[in-house]
Amino acid sequence: MNIDSRIHAIHSEITAIRRDIHAHPEPGFKETRTADLVAADLEKLGIAVHRGLGRTGVVGSLKCGSSDRAVGLRADMDCLVMDELNTFAHKSTVDGCMHACGHDGHTAMLLGAARHLAETRNFSGTVHFIFQPAEESYGGGREMVNDGLFDLFPVDAVYGMHNMPGYPVGEFAIVPGPIMASSDRFYLTILGVGGHGAWPHQAVDPVFVAGEIIVALQSIVSRTIDPMESVVVGVSQVHAGSAVNVIPDEARLSGTVRTLSATMQDHVETRMRQVIEGICQAHGAKADFTFERGYPPTVNHEAQTRLCSAVAAGLVGEQNVVSRGLPQLGGEDFSYMLLERPGAYIFIGNGDGDGGCMVHNPHYDFNDDIIPLGIAYWTQLVETELANN
């Protein structure tokens, strides 16, 4: 791999920062210690720091040369609300909180890139280092945008990166167009008429209606959507009843919907309403249905994707920049930034060694071996996008 020796020289120090963040995880909009650490490190480098966007977000700005072009590099800082089951020295010290998605590594790699770029200054323009809070479910990316991120820090393009177990160390994965899905939720209460289990004809059984709805919802994917589309409609919770001989008054369902386009989001929501209302009406029940839009699909822009692919290929070879397994149906709130500015999102292989289990697992740990490669990718991206010429 083609990595500057000066990046290797800071590897151990950036690893120590990563492990310190891992040991002190903070959930969405509560990343005060992490934000303090980030801001202090940037200020020591002489990088201008702005705080408070998206509540706990941090933006560092580094200008070099005479160009008025600018790029944004984004890393997420928050942890997941879950217990860690690892036993190594840098395991979480906070009960119920864990860096199980590698945001500690993302933050550390971007800090490493800031250090290298502040030292080498081999570019002309401005780099905005965007340290975002609350990626996990709370929409910190949306909040930073709504707080005027790109008004205060205009960019020609914005870029994101996420580690991915299952891809080997030394491999990147990226595609143009959709790379991550929307992340929507639905909540349904079926209102029936309760009664004695021995006289079901005198009741309107919401459990029976729920069963029909659960099965019928699958027809949306299997019979109304092109089989080449990737869509998930999943019921993940069912709650009803309190006794075996009682037909309850209501049943509650909830679940997730994943799509790769706004068109599919609209289609699925419309069809869900039609299916639910039709079945309830057929059985004399009523429905209280809420479709809650979450993160929109993360859609890479063509030109920026080509640039990212070329930069990654320069580091690891074209054969190690892949599209295998993409797009994925997880959600990502970097999508809000890509709705506002051109850009691209890339995966960096986290390997299959110790801690190489999938993210959101209590045994997960970010692979510190990929830190130099992540730093090199960020710096090469800046030096290519903001070339001195």
In this structure, are 162 and 276 located in the same domain?
A: no
In this structure, are 188 and 57 located in the same domain?
A: no
CATH number at residue 227: 3.30.70.360
Instruction: List, for residues 360-386, the tens digit of each pLDDT value.
Output: 999 999 999 999 999 999 999 999 999
Arithmetic mean of pLDDT, 320-340:
97
- Angle, in degrees to the nearest 10, between helices 11-23 and 103-120: 150
Contact between residue 164 and residue 105 where contact means Cβ atoms under 8 Å apart: no
Cα–Cα distance, 80 to 101 (Å, whole number): 7
**pLDDT-derived band at 113, boundaries 50, 70, 90:** very high
pTM: 0.95
Please spell the DSSP secondary structure of 236-276, one letter per residue: EEEEE-SSTTEE-SEEEEEEEEE-SSHHHHHHHHHHHHHHH
- 146-150 contact pairs (CB < 8 A, 24+): 147/52, 147/53, 147/54, 147/57, 148/53, 149/53, 149/54, 149/59, 149/337, 149/340, 150/72, 150/337, 150/340, 150/341
Please determine, for residue 42, whether its predicted confidence score (pLDDT) is greater than 90: yes
Instruction: List, for residues 177-233, the tens digit of each pLDDT value.
Output: 999 999 999 999 999 999 999 999 999 999 999 999 999 999 999 999 999 999 999
In this structure, are 228 and 161 located in the same domain?
A: no
Instruction: List, for residues 133-177, the tens digit of each pLDDT value.
Output: 999 999 999 999 999 999 999 999 999 999 999 999 999 999 999
Active site residues: 78, 135
The percent of residues in the chain predicted with pLDDT above 90, rounded, is 97
In this structure, are 38 and 175 located in the same domain?
A: yes
What is the predicted pLDDT for the residue at 6? 97
Q: Domains in the chain: how many in total?
A: 2
**pLDDT-derived band at 2, boundaries 50, 70, 90:** confident
Arithmetic mean of pLDDT, 12-20:
98
What is the predicted pLDDT for the residue at 353? 62
In this structure, are 336 and 308 located in the same domain?
A: yes
A 10 A CB-CB count for 21 gives: 27
- Both structure tokens of 132: 């975002």
The domain in which residue 378 lies consists of 5-181+297-385
What is the predicted pLDDT for the residue at 388? 82
Of 237, 265, 295, which residue is a domain's last? 295
In this structure, are 280 and 330 located in the same domain?
A: no
What is the predicted pLDDT for the residue at 189? 98
Please determine, for residue 354, whether its predicted confidence score (pLDDT) is greater than 80: no
